Amino acid sequence: MEATDRLFISIDTCSNIDEVKKQFPDLDFLTYFYSIIGYYRIPTSRIVEHVFMSKDEYFDIVDGKITPNRNQVLQLANAVRLDIKKTNFLLSLSNQNILDPKNTRDSLIIFSIKNHYSLEQVNYILSNCHLQNIK
């Protein structure tokens, strides 16, 4: 747990993602995601019921069989209730673009994360603004 504590503190205190990556050069998407679900003791059933993907698709991602796309990463981040920094770090580790507040869709997603909205609520907001849902 000590390494996980150091990682989470680094993410929260560093000004950019690259600083954290220098401190943890071997860290990848799956290791980070497993650290989150292990540290917070999040059961798989809770994650699966809060994402818009099948159990098979979820397990293919967490088993490393497929690389998640940006929407899938956002779904996983939402399911485990990550904050903005940790969500962006997860996106970065999966080689996806981080959330950009200058982008309308991303700014609404950021707003939703800050307000702890469910994925259904996020998609409702996005739909009302005629933007692509997280699916």
pLDDT tens-digit series, residues 26-75: 899 999 999 999 999 999 999 999 999 999 999 999 999 999 999 999 99
Q: pTM of the full predicted structure?
A: 0.92
Q: Could you tell me if residue 45 is inside a domain?
A: yes
Instruction: Give residue 94's pLDDT.
Output: 96
Closest to 20 (Cα-Cα) out of 90, 115, 123, 111: 90
- The Cα 92–Cα 41 span in angstroms is 23
Assigned domain for 83 exists: yes
Across all residues in the chain, what is the average pLDDT?
93
pLDDT at 58: 96
In one letter, which amino acid is 77? A
Indicate if the pLDDT at residue 126 is higher than 90: yes
- Cα angle 46, 10, 23; round to 5: 110
**H or E element, residue 40:** none
Residue 22 belongs to what domain range? 2-97
Task: Give percent of the chain with pLDDT exceeding 70.
Answer: 99
Mean pLDDT of 3-10: 84
- Residue 107 covered by a domain: no
The confidence score (pLDDT) of residue 97 equals 97
pLDDT for res 57: 96
Q: Is residue 69 part of a domain?
A: yes
In a domain, 105, yes or no: no
Q: What is the pLDDT of residue 1?
A: 53
Q: Where are the alpha helices (DSSP H) in the chain?
A: 2-13, 17-23, 29-39, 44-49, 55-62, 70-79, 84-93, 104-114, 119-128
For the cut 80, the answer to whether the pLDDT of residue 86 exceeds it is: yes
Query: Is 75 inside a domain boundary?
Result: yes
| Amino acid 10: pLDDT | 86
Based on the structure, what is the number of domains in the chain?
A: 1
Task: Give the CA-trace dihedral at 90, 96, 99, 105, to 10 degrees.
Answer: -130
